[in-house]
Structure 1
Amino acid sequence: MTEDQTETHPDDMPEVQVLPLDAWHRAKGGRMVDFAGYQMPIQYEGIVAEHDWTRGHASLFDVSHMGQLSLEGDGAAEALETLLPGDIAGLKPGRMRYSLLLDDNGGVLDDLIVTNVGPHLGLVVNGAMKWDDIAHLREHLPDEITLKHHADQALLALQGPEAAAVLETILPGVGELVFMTAGAFDWNGTPLWVSRAGYTGEDGFEISVPADKAEALADALVADARVKPAGLGARDSLRLEAGLPLYGHDLDTNTDPVSADLLFALTKKRRETGGWMGHENVVRLLAQGPSVKRVGLVLEGRLPAREGALVFSGDTQVGRVTSGGFSPTLGHPVAMAYVDAAHCALGTDLQIEVRNKRLDARVAPMPFVPQNYYRGPTSLSGDTK
C-alpha cells in the first residue's frame, strides 16, 4: 500500500518521546511517568481528586500518545473489513465504530475506533501498539489504499458531565453531536476534528488539534472553572469503573472477542458472511462457547487486587486478574479477570489471592458504575466505548 512519505519512522525516534504539551503538563504540576513510549502525566493534585472531579464536572486529559491514522482510496472500507469484524462500509459520514484488529487465530492485535470522516476513514489506535498496527495495515491492505499517520496532530479528551457545556462556549454547535459521532469545527481559524466519545464512561469529547495549537486550546479549556487537568491515574480508575478493557492488560493476542465479552464488536451480518482475519476461530468459539471469560469482580474490604492476582474457587485456581483497583466512586475494590467458564456466572462467590491472603469476591455485572454517554433523543445502534 502507499504511505505518507513525510511520516517519522520509529527507528528515527528517541527511546522516550515527549508530548506536544510536555512543558504545559510540568508547569501545571503534572507528575510525569513513562507510558507507551512517552513521558505522560500520571496525576496533578491527586488521582482520587481528579477521578471525582471528572465524575462531577469536566477534566482535560492529554491522549496525544494515541495513533491517529487515516486510510484513503477506492474501496478503503471494504479493504479494512478484511482485517476487522465490524461493519465499516456501512458507516455513514460522521459515524464512529469500536472494532478490533485481529490476527489469523482471532487473537486481538489491538482495539480501535474507526470513523467515516467523509473523504477518508479515520482510525485511532492505542499508543503502545500504533507502530505494530501501521506495519500490519501496510502488510495486508492493497497498494491502492493510502495510509497516513498524523504525527503532527495532538489529541485532547475533555470528559465529564459538564464537558458539553464547556466546549459549547468555544465551539458553538458541538453539543449537537451525540455519542459516537464526530465532525469538523473551526476554532479561531484552527481546524479541529471533534468526536463525542472517550474512555471514562462519562459524556465527553476527543479533540484532534494541530500539535502547535494544542497548548492554546488546552489553556482555553482550563480557563473555564469547570475544567481541571487530569492524568493517567484517574483515566485508569474511571475506565475500570466503566468496565472498559485496556489493551496489553485485559486484551492481547492470547485473548479473543468472545472470551473478552466484546461480542458487540462482531457485527451480526459479518459474523455470518466472514471474510475477515480470524473469522473461522471466532465463529467456532461463538458456537462452542469460550473456556474462559472476562468478568467483573467486586471485592469485600478495602484492599485492591492488582493485575496478575490469582482467582480461586475453593482450592482450585480458576482465573487471573487483568485489571484491578479501588473504586473511588463505589468505595470498595473492583477488578476484571479472566475466569473459567464454569465459574463466571453473575453472583458466583470466588476468592482472590492478595499478599498471601484470600479475599472474598463476587462476579458482578459491568460496568461497575453506569456509563453516562449522551445518545440524544434516540440511541445509536452498535455504538460503544
Structure 2
Amino acid sequence: MSNVDTGRHLPLEALHIAAGAKFGGFAGWNMPITYPAGVMKEHLHTREKAGLFDISHMQLFLVEGAGAATFLSFVCPLDASAIGIGKCKYTMLLNDKAGIIDDLIITQLSPTRFMVVANAGNAAKDEAHFRTNAGNFDVTIEALPRVLIALQGPDAESVLTNAGLDLSTLTFMTATEPRPGWFASRSGYTGEDGFEVAMPIEEAEAFVAKILADERAMWIGLAARDSLRLEAGLCLHGQDIDETTDPVMAGILWAIPKPVRESGNFIGADALRAIIAAGAKEKRVGLKPVGRQPVRAGAPILDAVGNTVGRVTSGGFGPSVGHPVAMGYVAKELAEPGTTLFTEVRGNRLELQVAPLPFTPHRYRKG
C-alpha cells in the first residue's frame, strides 16, 4: 500500500498524513489503511480501549417532507413511520429481483425527517435510485457534506464525554442531534459498543483533537476496520452482499419486519416473497480455516471430492480470536456449523469448518 493519490480525499486527510498513515484506494477514496502501530495493535486497541475511525467517505442523506416515511417504505423493505423518533434501523435498498443494492442505517428524527447513512462505494448509485423513485412523493433528499467519525470500544463513551460530547443516554441503535448540524448514533461496524458522529467539516479538526488528547483513543485504519467487522460477522457490501445476493441467502432477513415481508409495498417485494416461499439455495456462513493460513475473498469452497459448493466472500486473520476467519456462501445443505469443507490457496488444499457467526461476541450497549 503506497501513498499514491487514489481518488477523492477525506476532509481530515492532513491529520492522517501527520499521524503516519499509509493510504490506499477504497470505493473511489484515498483512505488511511494502517497507521504506524499496525493492523494487529490497532485491532486489539479497539477491542480493549477506543479506536477512532474516519469514515467520512460514507454519505449522509437527509430525507424530509410529508411523504418521507412513505417514500422510504417504498424504496426500502421497512415501515419507516414505525422506526420511532431517535431510533435507528438497519435496512437495505433492493432491486426488482430483491438483490441488495446497498445496506443502510436509517434514523427517524421526527415524523417527517430521516437520516440515511449509505456506503461510500454506493453513494452515487443510492442517490440516483432515491431521486429516480422520489417523483410521486412529497419529499426532498439532501446529500450532507459532513465529517463522519466512529469511536468504537469499551472506553468510547468515556472518551467522548471527556471530549465534551456526552452521549451516555443513548443505547444501541438510537441517535440524537447533539448540536446544530451534528448527528450522532450509538452504532458501529466492529461488534463493540461505540458511536458514529457526523459534524460540519469546519468543526471536525478541533473535536478530533480533543478525542485524541485522551490516551485511550487511537486512529484505526481501514485494514483493522475490516478484521474487526469480519470477526463480528458483519457484511461488507460489494463482497458479502451485492445485487446478486438477496436478504434470505445473506442471513439478514431479520432486518425486514414480518408484516413488511408479508404485505409491504416496497421495490422487490414480489421477488422477495417468492424467494422466501422457495427457500434459499445458498446460505452465508462463518468459516474457520484449520491451521494458520488465512483464506481470501474469491477462493472456491469445495466438498470432500472436490466439487465447488460455494465461495469465500471475506477472509483474513482474526487478532482477537487468534486464528484465521472467513465468511462465504455454501449450498444450504452444507451450512450447518461443524460441516467440513475445503478450499485451495496457491494450489494447496486447506480444510475449512463451517462456524457460527459472530466469531467474537457483540458487546453493544443495549437499553
Match of 2:273, SS state, is helix
**Which one of 167, 172, 178 corresponds to residue 174 of structure 1?**
167
AA partner of residue 85 (structure 1) = P
1:149-203 superposed Cα distances (whole Å, 9 cap, x missing partner): 002x1100000010011112234541110000011224xxx65321000001100
AA partner of residue 30 (structure 1) = A
**Which one of 83, 86, 93 corresponds to residue 94 of structure 1?**
86
Q: Which whole-Å CA distance do the structure 1 matches of 2:343 and 2:240 have between them?
A: 17
Which segment is superposed worse, 170-179 or 333-342? Answer: 170-179
Verify: 1:342 aligned to 2:336, yes or no. no
Residue 186 of structure 2 corresponds to which residue in structure 1?
196
**Which one of 61, 71, 93 corresponds to residue 69 of structure 1?**
61
1:194-235 superposed Cα distances (whole Å, 9 cap, x missing partner): 100000110000000111111111111010011000100110
RMSD: 1.3
AA partner of residue 202 (structure 1) = E
Q: Which whole-Å CA distance do the structure 2 matches of 1:91 and 1:258 have between them?
A: 22
**Which one of 144, 158, 161 corresponds to residue 138 of structure 2?**
144
The 5-angstrom pairing of residues 1-16 of structure 1 reads 16=7
Match of 2:80, SS state, is coil
Which segment is superposed worse, 313-322 or 171-180? Answer: 171-180
CA contact (8 A) 2:283 2:330 kept: yes
Residue 199 of structure 2 corresponds to which residue in structure 1?
209
Unpaired runs of 5+ in structure 1? 1-13, 377-385
Residue 280 of structure 1 corresponds to which residue in structure 2?
270
TM-score, structure 1 normalization: 0.91
CA contact (8 A) 2:299 2:344 kept: yes
Residue 4 of structure 1 corresponds to which residue in structure 2?
none
AA partner of residue 332 (structure 1) = H
**1:75 offset after TM fit, Å?**
1.9
**1:269 offset after TM fit, Å?**
0.9
Unpaired runs of 5+ in structure 2? none
Verify: 1:133 aligned to 2:126, yes or no. yes
Match of 1:180, SS state, is coil
CA contact (8 A) 1:171 1:185 kept: no
**1:15 offset after TM fit, Å?**
7.8
AA partner of residue 198 (structure 1) = G
- Total equivalences in the alignment: 359
**Which one of 130, 133, 149 corresponds to residue 156 of structure 1?**
149
**1:87 offset after TM fit, Å?**
2.4
Percent of residue pairs bearing the same amino acid type: 45
Residue 22 of structure 2 corresponds to which residue in structure 1?
31
Verify: 1:225 aligned to 2:215, yes or no. yes
Residue 328 of structure 1 corresponds to which residue in structure 2?
319
CA contact (8 A) 1:20 1:212 kept: no
TM-score, structure 2 normalization: 0.95
Q: Which whole-Å CA distance do the structure 2 matches of 1:173 and 1:256 have between them?
A: 38
CA contact (8 A) 2:11 2:147 kept: yes
Q: Which whole-Å CA distance do the structure 1 matches of 2:243 and 2:215 have between them?
A: 43
Q: Which whole-Å CA distance do the structure 2 matches of 1:22 and 1:172 have between them?
A: 23
